[in-house]
Homo-oligomer: A and B are copies of this chain.
Amino acid sequence: MSPLILNIVRRETLQLSKKILPRKRYSTVQSSIPKFESILGKDAVATKEAVRKQFSRDEGHLLPRLPTVVLSPTSVEQVAAVVRVCNEQSIPVVAYGTGTGLEGGSMSLKDGVCLSTAAIEGGICEVNEADFDVSVRPSVTRKQLNTHIRNTGLFFPVDPGADASLCGMVATSASGTNAVRYGTMKENVRNLEVVLADGSVLYTRGKGARPRKSAAGYNLTDLFIGSEGTLGIITKAILKLHPRPQAQSVALCHFPTVAEAVNSVVETLQMGVPIARIEFLDHVQVAACNKYSHLTLAEQPTLALEFHGQTDAEVGQQAQVVGDICAQNNGSAFEWSTELEEMEKLWTARHNAYYAALAMRTGAVGFTTDVCVPITKLAETIVATRKDLDETGLKGVIVGHVGDGNFHVILPVFEENEEEMKVVHAFSDRLVRRALSANGTCTGEHGIGVGKIQYLAEEFGPIGVQTMKRIKAALDPKNILNPGKVFA
């Protein structure tokens, strides 16, 4: 490893990487660089520090680690050829999309190849409007796709916030605000093209197949969704599209207590209202938003809701039902709107939640955690988490995709302050354990990456982790694909 980067490697990361790769001996990548150059051409092989730095981190709180070399293949054949060399030579290879992850999943922990997928040609290969599907290469982000298909009456709904690569979203099992209606990536993929560890090319549902359902063979597609680059490199995804709603409305509602807000969510789901977004902001988050965006919202537990339908009548009906439910749970007057400008104003608070939270401490960066619990455990989990924050003296806010029981804590932190970071990590530990003891999961959507490896074993137990490791060893016997991620 270059001495240049040692000073910016965070202590925790180093400890983890030592623990992860104790017995595995990897070759150094340097001797294979001529091979990579002959496969890709010299321009697609970057060893300059400036380039490696661009691929050294994601948007999470882990400090950067520079890969040894950054490769930019332009075709699946080139990806396969590179991976074949890496497998022969036992060189770690880490796929890198847009770098918008939060748990270090695309970071290179070890001397090895960072395989940037952004240059793979083809982009949006095929749009099948009447079949509601589309084929995309890893260079395509979700916003690019939605811009491209804006005149078809269809859209791709999964929205993790960041404008991530769609293939990267497959690899990390992304979800976000409207998963409550449209599902996560898990529910929105038809087929995948994947380069395996030995350089062979797999089509998880057979080449070109895109039926809406199938009962043939093992579900390989979902095995690769959320595998975080540890089982193969996704080079094409066939995704499902949805009819774009012709009518929308949004609403804001404030509640005296967290429990009343969450109860409104449960009752809304029980009524079968196909709500598109139902987001929670705790009172500290609302206060931060008021200050940041110059709003005058009631500083109480708040729901921001969005309704989708094909007609205004349909959307109005949904808003009516949910408005009644919120009123019965002591919610404030239910402000709702179908006007674009007004909708945007109402969503301002939620959209700027992250920046508003950071602004609570000038110069701080964001430490964002993510857990998910059954909805009946949500109120008590949020209340306990708020109490923990207050007692610990941490300035954090709670926001969440509450229709799924998924919430985040955003903490504005100074990462170089070791004492503070200890307190933050201890809080994060307690949060995860609280979620696990409530029959939940240590991550609803951010993934395991490096940051949550220690919790995987607690969540799945030894048989669960062993089963995953057996699958990993069967498909990647030399452990070259993103080593040190998901499990140690």
Contact = CB atoms under 8 A, between A and B. Distances in A.
Given A216-B456, A463-B200, A440 B222 contact: no
A372 B442 contact: no
A443 B214 contact: yes
Contacts of A98: none
Contacts of A201: 463
A178 interface: no
Given A179-B213, A213-B406, A243-B270, A468 B314 contact: no
Report copies per complex: 2
Contacts of A213: 175, 179, 184, 186, 372, 404, 406, 441, 444-445
Interface residues of A, number: 100
A334 interface: no
Interface stretch (A125-133, A140-148, A356-364): A125-133
A321 interface: yes
Given A218-B223, A274-B274, A471-B474, A211 B179 contact: no
A204 interface: yes
A357 to B, nearest CB: 22
Contact of A219 (B225, B373, B406): B225
Interface in A160-187: 172-175, 179, 183-184, 186-187
A23 interface: no
A203 B461 contact: yes
Contacts of A269: 132, 243
Contact of A211 (B203, B223, B317, B372): B372
B487 A217 contact: yes
A124 to B, nearest CB: 18
A346 B454 CA distance: 57
Given A217-B456, A223-B218, A448-B215, A202 B243 contact: no
Contact of A440 (B211, B220, B439): B211
Given A130-B270, A212-B374, 11 more contacts: A130-B375, A184-B213, A202-B464, A206-B441, A207-B461, A209-B436, A209-B441, A216-B448, A217-B448, A219-B225, A220-B467
15 contacts: A133-B374, A175-B213, A202-B464, A208-B439, A214-B441, A216-B442, A216-B448, A216-B459, A218-B468, A220-B467, A222-B222, A243-B269, A272-B310, A467-B475, A470-B475
Interface of A: 128, 130-133, 153-154, 172-175, 179, 183-184, 186-187, 196, 200-220, 222-223, 225-227, 231, 242-243, 245-246, 266, 269-274, 309-311, 313-314, 317, 321, 370, 372-376, 404-406, 436, 439-448, 452, 455-456, 459-461, 463-465, 467-468, 470-471, 473-475, 486-487
